[in-house]
Amino acid sequence: MNETAAAGTDLEMNVTENAHLVNDTVTSFTWSNLEVIVQDRNTRAPLSILSNATGNVCAGEMLAILGPSGSGKTTLLNALAHRAAAANATTTGSILVNGHTASLQEIRELSAYVEQEDALIGSLTVRETVVFAARLSLPHTISRREAFRRVDALIAAFGLQAQAHTIIGTPIKKGLSGGQKKRLGVASRLVTSPRIIFLDEPTSGLDAALSLEVCTYIKDITRKNNLITIASIHQPSSATFQQFDKLYLLSGGLTCYFGRVGEATAYFSTMGYPIPAETNSADFFIDLVNTDLDKNGEIRRRTSHICQAWKSSANSRELDTAIQKTVEGTSSPSDIKILRSTSWRTPIILVHRSWIKSYRDVMAYGIRIAMYLGLAILMGTVFLRLKTEQAYIQPVINAIFFGGAFMSFMAVAYVPAFLEDLNTFRQERANGLVTPLSFMIANFVIGLPFLFIMSLLFSIITYWMSNFRPSASAFFTWVLWLFLDLVAAESLVVLVSSIFSVFVVALATTAFANGLWMCVNGFLVPMDILNPFWKYVFHYIDYQAYVFQGMMVNEFGRRSYSCDEISKGQYQCSYPSDLNSIGKIRGVDVLRQFSIKPGEEGTWFGIIVGIIAGYRLLAYIVLVLRK
């Protein structure tokens, strides 16, 4: 049995299980005279990208927003969902639920928005994905038993039982098919029992058969549970198009048609645009108003005629009358209470989810651990068995610099994993599931054990191979500095990637910042000769500087080095020291050359913690401001 055919059977089996989905409160969703104005990219003048949009969808109906590319489908969908319709857009007009004006918060509570690019976490299984969606969205008053019942019923309703324990798929491990991923994306948004579902191009990237499969599932769920579904859709096949009840046809932000799918053909036929036999009606409607295909101005004139005709059509007048008559329902949006999870639990749930991701997804931490181990072997073998002789002082200093600076530089490898998490966060935040604070807390907490393991593994290899000061306390002090170094470097990645969430920009900026910290940390140019600009503007806020100083004191604070003996009892010492006469150099004399004063480790520790907190706080502020 193919999957599409299975859809019906699955739904028949599970409709009663999905009682929580049933919408018995929202009877109508209407909007009138919606207008979206943006600042034109080129001229900077106000530009209307959606005008006079009016329509209504009743419980149990599915609306398709159709139109050529750039016609305003996403703009309309976002405006209806009370999302930012476009960058710096101003939206006017009214949106009503049961005849009552609905606020942003109310629409958010009542609806679920499924993005075109799903932010599913590839290393989770189907069931885990829905379970985490349930844990993030459902209040603790709903028992675990009930939550699991909902999860399993939803998985069954979307025909995913056989894949319940299959991972979604990562770049190196294949999981679900494109259609199954789309179905899972919708299923995981339905655990909150939304009354209205917004879908941004749910069939994008799917072939005709998979598109039909996805739309069949959505239609059955909509119909059986009396939901309201609004989807923007791109070039549907005839069969997919027929799954929808209503059509909103747009061109250049203007309405070309709104009404029943089944009546659209007759409407255009009466206007003088009959559909040729054996033509896909959706393709026909899009081509009719696709001004991109215009060669001689004919399609532009035709589109303008169709939009004008719509305004004065009987269908449009009937729609206006229907909207005016929309009876104010007994329940207003503010009366319809949808239960949400309590936010203090969110960070714990996110940490749990990230934990599963991090140990299962080799891309998340595994590759970085392997890279650091490779680096450790490289460093350990290059700086092999360094001796306490003056010829080795400079290599020891170089090894300390390399250990701290290069390790933090390589934190750039965290950029892709963080951007992936940020993408998931953005979608979950837009659906009201996660706040910037819970995301930041979870991200920080989950990173700590891994960074500690990385610091420890790196140190176990290099510290003893390179022959740093051989004592347990010196070893663990080194591990501590390295750990702080990595936590600060990762916090910098979080800040930079939150500001510039484009991969290449985030990567280049983090690499630049780390290069800068390397230059001014006091190794390449000692602090007393570093020019004042770099010293006073950057050196003191450079976490690498404190790590370098801390590691230097750890190594040189309690060691001495032998000078070269040029003849019996005659020594040539490259660092002045009170022990030169007996052929020794105190480690602290080496520190003096770098203006490093032992005894200030506590202050340096505190400053690094402050820098980490500063990076995290700034990243949090960026996320709060970037809605």
Ligand X SMILES: Nc1ncnc2c1ncn2[C@@H]1O[C@H](COP(=O)(O)OP(=O)(O)OP(=O)(O)O)[C@@H](O)[C@H]1O
Binding segment for ligand X among 38-46, 138-146, 213-221, 490-498 (CB under 6 A)? 38-46
Q: Is 379 in the site for ligand X (CB under 6 A)?
A: no
Amino acid (one-letter) located at 531: N
Q: How many Cβ atoms are within 10 Å of 457's Cβ, its own excluded?
A: 15
Q: How far is the CB of 300 from ligand X (least distance, A)?
A: 15
CB 341, CB 137: distance < 8 Å: yes
Q: How far is the CB of 38 from ligand X (least distance, A)?
A: 4
Q: Is 236 in the site for ligand X (CB under 6 A)?
A: no
Q: Is 73 in the site for ligand X (CB under 6 A)?
A: yes
Does an H or E element contain 57, and which? strand 46-58
Q: Which is nearer to ligand X, 72 or 333 (CB)?
A: 72
SS (H, E, C) 222-285: HHHHCCEEEEECCCCCHHHHCCCCEEEEEECCEEEEEEEHHHHHHHHHHCCCCCCCCCCHHHHH
In the beta sheet, which residues pair with residue 199? 114, 231
* DSSP classification of residue 508: H
Q: Give the number of C-alpha atoms closer than 13 A to the C-alpha of residue 55, restricted to the C-beta side.
A: 27
Q: Which is nearer to ligand X, 35 or 601 (CB)?
A: 35
Position among 48, 58, 70, 508 found at the interface with ligand X (CB under 6 A): 70
Q: Which is nearer to ligand X, 128 or 201 (CB)?
A: 201
Q: Which is nearer to ligand X, 70 or 178 (CB)?
A: 70
Q: Is 86 in the site for ligand X (CB under 6 A)?
A: yes
Q: Is 69 in the site for ligand X (CB under 6 A)?
A: yes
Q: For the chain, how many residues are written? A: 627
Q: How far is the CB of 104 from ligand X (least distance, A)?
A: 19
Q: Is 71 in the site for ligand X (CB under 6 A)?
A: yes
Smallest CA-to-CA distance from 256 within 309, 319, 332 is with 309
Q: Which is nearer to ligand X, 95 or 407 (CB)?
A: 95
Q: Where are the alpha helices (DSSP H) in 289-345?
A: 298-311, 314-324
CA dist list (Å): 374 to 368, 369, 407, 461, 487: 10, 9, 11, 10, 20
Q: Is 47 in the site for ligand X (CB under 6 A)?
A: yes
Q: Is 350 in the site for ligand X (CB under 6 A)?
A: no
Give the N- to C-terminal CA distance of the chain in Å, as an integer: 45
Q: Which is nearer to ligand X, 251 or 497 (CB)?
A: 251
SS (H, E, C) 565-594: EEECCEEECCCCCCCHHHCEEEHHHHHHHC
Q: Is 547 in the site for ligand X (CB under 6 A)?
A: no
Q: Which is nearer to ligand X, 43 or 330 (CB)?
A: 43
- CA 257-262-265 angle, to 5 degrees, is 60
Q: Which is nearer to ligand X, 73 or 559 (CB)?
A: 73
Q: Which is nearer to ligand X, 65 or 133 (CB)?
A: 65
In terms of Cβ atoms closer than 10 Å to its own Cβ (0-12, 13-18, 19+), residue 548 is buried
Binding segment for ligand X among 37-45, 91-99, 296-304, 355-363 (CB under 6 A)? 37-45
Q: How far is the CB of 42 from ligand X (least distance, A)?
A: 7
Position among 7, 26, 49, 336 found at the interface with ligand X (CB under 6 A): 49
Distance of CA 63 to the CA centre of its chain: 28
Q: How far is the CB of 475 from ligand X (least distance, A)?
A: 57
Binding segment for ligand X among 64-72, 289-297, 439-447, 485-493 (CB under 6 A)? 64-72
Region 527-546 residues binding ligand X, contact defined as CB under 6 A: none
Footprint of ligand X on this chain (CB under 6 A)?
38-41, 47, 49, 67, 69-75, 86, 234
